[in-house]
Structure 1
Amino acid sequence: MTKPFGLYQNPGWGSAIIEAQLAVYGLPYDLIDAGGSVSEAAVQEAMRGVNPLLQVPALILPNGAVMTETAAMTLYLADIAGTDTLVPGPGAPERAAFLRWLIFLVAAVYPSFAYGDVPTRFVPPEGAEAFQARVIEHRKAMWRVMEAEASGPYFLGVRFSVIDIYLAVMTRWRPGEAWFQTETPKLWAAGATAALRPGIAPVMARNFS
């Protein structure tokens, strides 16, 4: 029997993006509780040897190696699964757009949560509220950039991809579901449709119920 992957996770965090991919591919995995807020000393102690940046998720491969960064995990898991179910292959017409927006999500949008959710890690307490507000406004602008490029019913049009899993998870975060439904309806719809797909629906229920 193949040794399972180990996924360091917290319900509702970015680990849900990787958990959903593992579920869709039917790859064996164990969930490892990362313990809540990364600001807690116990979590820092548990995570330091896995990811020095103290970030969730982290993925332990069956051979014991550690992977961080959700885009890297995404491309690796597609290789391991040997299918283009979630990642358009090199010859697919959607490949270039997929890579562009995957990296946009992880390099531009996703990091805004790292410095915006707990702003006192980066700015003095007296400036934290204003800093967080500016981060959220910038995040909204980035989401609007993606909305302008979305095709429907999925982000890449009829082609379902892991971009839609990112949207299913990230539209649950700030600025909140109501904002996405009103301001970026195509992104919301793509994520909501993805969240109902077999394999993904149970993961979403576990993470967001």
Structure 2
Amino acid sequence: MKALADEELVRTGRADGVRLGPAFLRLVGKLHTDVVAVAAPHLQSLSDDIGETVALGRISGRELAFIHVVVAEQELRVVPRVGANLPLATTAGGRALLALCADEEALMLLQLPDAKGTDSGELLKELKRVRRIGYAVDDNETTPGVVSLAVGVDTILGRFAVSVPAPAVRVAAAGRPRIVERLLACRDVLLGEIGRNRPDE
């Protein structure tokens, strides 16, 4: 405990026991920056490869918050705002994040009753599908004319979603498999670098 206190990772006090120290809190604050620094080159590469916008998001309360966006070069493009919050349950990125959780944790995050209710039952079926195929889809649900595909990435820095929101006219049945393939490959690269359970371990 003394070594942790010397590094300001914890603070010990006579009356209130052990508390988190300022160095630990600074480290927590850097997590957001660190994941962006690691992920940004891979997100840029994905965007360049598929010609679409790529967004990195995380859970913020009961919503999906975008923390980094690589904007596509195309004239017709989808541009989510960094810091914008969208519903977890209806967005591809939100569903990808919820699929990383156990069903009970996902329902708790959304403050939904157990799976007996119609809404939660449908959501749990969708999360099961996302886990099975490896990615989530928002097909004109959040924004008409926009299709979003997303994968969840469980890292040592937290859980994140990589989303590709694109105009529905370009994500036709023929274009979707290519985007999904590249999106899954990007996820695998990120997991190889910062995954909680890296493939080589």
**TM-score class normalised by the smaller sequence:** 0.3 to 0.5
Q: Which has the higher strand share?
A: 2
**TM-score scaled by length of structure 2:** 0.34
Higher relative contact order (CA 8 A, sep 6+): 1
Q: Which has the higher helix share?
A: 1
